[in-house]
Amino acid sequence: MDHAPSSTQTLTRQHHRRLRDLYRSAGWPSQDMLEVELLAAGQIERVRSGEGHETLRVTDAGIATLARVFASNKAARSPHEELVQRVALEMTRGGRLAWRGLMLRVALPKALLLGEEPAPQPESPGLALDDDAGPLPKAPGHAWCMAMPDVFSIRRTSVEAYAEPVVHEIKVSRADLLGDLKKPAKRAAYLGMAGACWYVLGQDAKGRSVGAPDEVPVECGVMLVEGDVLKVAREAPRRAVAQLPFHVWMALAKAGPAVREEDRVQARW
């Protein structure tokens, strides 16, 4: 027989999300079993107004639960994950929709994939999603390359031509940066799926930047982490991207942005 979680039992992520939602909202009840379990666990309480309307309020025990979850989530994130999330949040605050870890296919010259020629500047994105079912056309002499940018974002707009897809690649390790710079095909893939590509260079344990702007190829922009600020060290060259394929839009919708509208202010929870 199922039992409601007591105040000493571990609540699930669903309980935590509902607690966050109630803490941020006016407290209107949903009257479902998740709410019942939170009430029984003493995480929320019912409040009746003078007009007779009933709302829900997070109790002190619920606040303590939210604080523990926040601390646990923050401690569990690696420096790379922390910076990826930070960049995604900054893109969202700047009026963009951001995705994390989206796996994409890009058509690149076979010679480039074999390391036989330098990375070209793509004229248009040859973009496809990894889970796309049907065969996708590619130019002669090209092959599909898998790419998974740390952050992929587009402008929040109703005009497709203004979407301006952008890729951000996050580096918090000197060794990772140097290894990445030896992969021209990877950069070409990023430039093939977006109108601009940025390298975001974090800091090591001693607070030093993991790289210098002049180490990053000129076809990419550079951002540096300086305390709580993301500083633009070199602008990324931009090119127009008229449209993204329809199946890409569908996949973006299915994946959902990394930072949703209701999480814009408190995405760190």
Give the predicted TM-score (pTM) of the model: 0.66
Kindly tell me if the per-residue pLDDT of 104 is higher than 90.
no
The secondary structure element, H or E, covering residue 109 is: strand 104-109
On whether the CB atoms of residues 157 and 222 are closer than 8 A, the answer is no
Neighbours of 112 (CB within 10 A): 19
Segment 88-103 shows an average pLDDT of 91
pLDDT score of 51 more than 80: yes
pLDDT at 28 > cutoff 70: yes
Taking residues 27-46, what's their average pLDDT?
92
Query: According to the model, what pLDDT value does residue 126 have?
Result: 45
Query: What is the rounded average pLDDT of the residues 45-59?
Result: 91
Q: Which two tokens stand for residue 137?
A: 């056309």
DSSP strands (E only) in 175-244 = 196-201, 221-226, 229-234
Q: Beta strand 196-201 with 221-226: parallel, antiparallel or unpaired?
A: parallel
Please report, in angstroms and rounded to a whole number, the separation of the first and last CA atoms in the chain.
32
- In words, the CATH class of domain 13-76 is mainly alpha
Average the pLDDT over 147-153 and give the result: 90
**pLDDT for residue 144:** 76
Higher local confidence (pLDDT), 211 or 6? 211
Mean pLDDT of 47-64: 91
- The radius of gyration computed from the CA coordinates of the chain, to the nearest angstrom, equals 23
pLDDT over 70 percentage in the chain? 81
The answer to whether residue 224 scores a pLDDT higher than 80 is: yes
Look at 48-52, 53-57, 193-197 and tell me which has the smallest mean pLDDT.
48-52
* Closest to 199 measured CA to CA, from 87, 82, 100: 87
Other beta carbons less than 10 A from residue 257's beta carbon: 20
- To 5 degrees, how large is the angle CA 69–CA 71–CA 72? 65
State how far the Cα of 250 lies from the Cα of 65, in Å rounded to an integer: 37
Of 15-24, 169-178, 246-255, the one with minimum mean pLDDT is 246-255
User: Which of 76-85, 133-142, 165-174 tops mean pLDDT?
Assistant: 165-174
Q: How far apart are CA 190 and CA 106, in angstroms?
A: 8
Instruction: Let me know: does 34 contact 18? Beta carbons within 8 Å.
Output: yes
Better pLDDT: 54 or 124: 54
Residue 170 has what pLDDT? 96
The answer to whether 36 and 3 have CB atoms below 8 angstroms apart is no
Of 152 and 260, more confident: 152
Between 2 and 190, the more confident residue is 190
More confident call, 65 vs 268: 65
Q: Domain limits of the chain? A: 13-76, 79-263
Position 132 confidence tier, pLDDT thresholds 50, 70, 90: very low
Q: Which long-range contacts link 114-123 to residues 24+ away (Cβ below 8 Å)?
A: 115/184, 115/185, 118/184, 119/184, 119/185, 119/187, 119/188, 119/191, 119/217, 119/219, 120/188, 121/191, 121/219, 121/239, 122/188, 122/191, 122/192
d(CA 77, CA 85): 10
Task: Give the model's confidence band at 125: pLDDT under 50 very low, under 70 low, under 90 confident, else very high.
Answer: very low
Band (185; pLDDT cuts 50, 70, 90): confident
Per the DSSP assignment, residues forming a β-bridge with 147 are 104
**Of residues 243 and 168, more confidently modeled:** 168
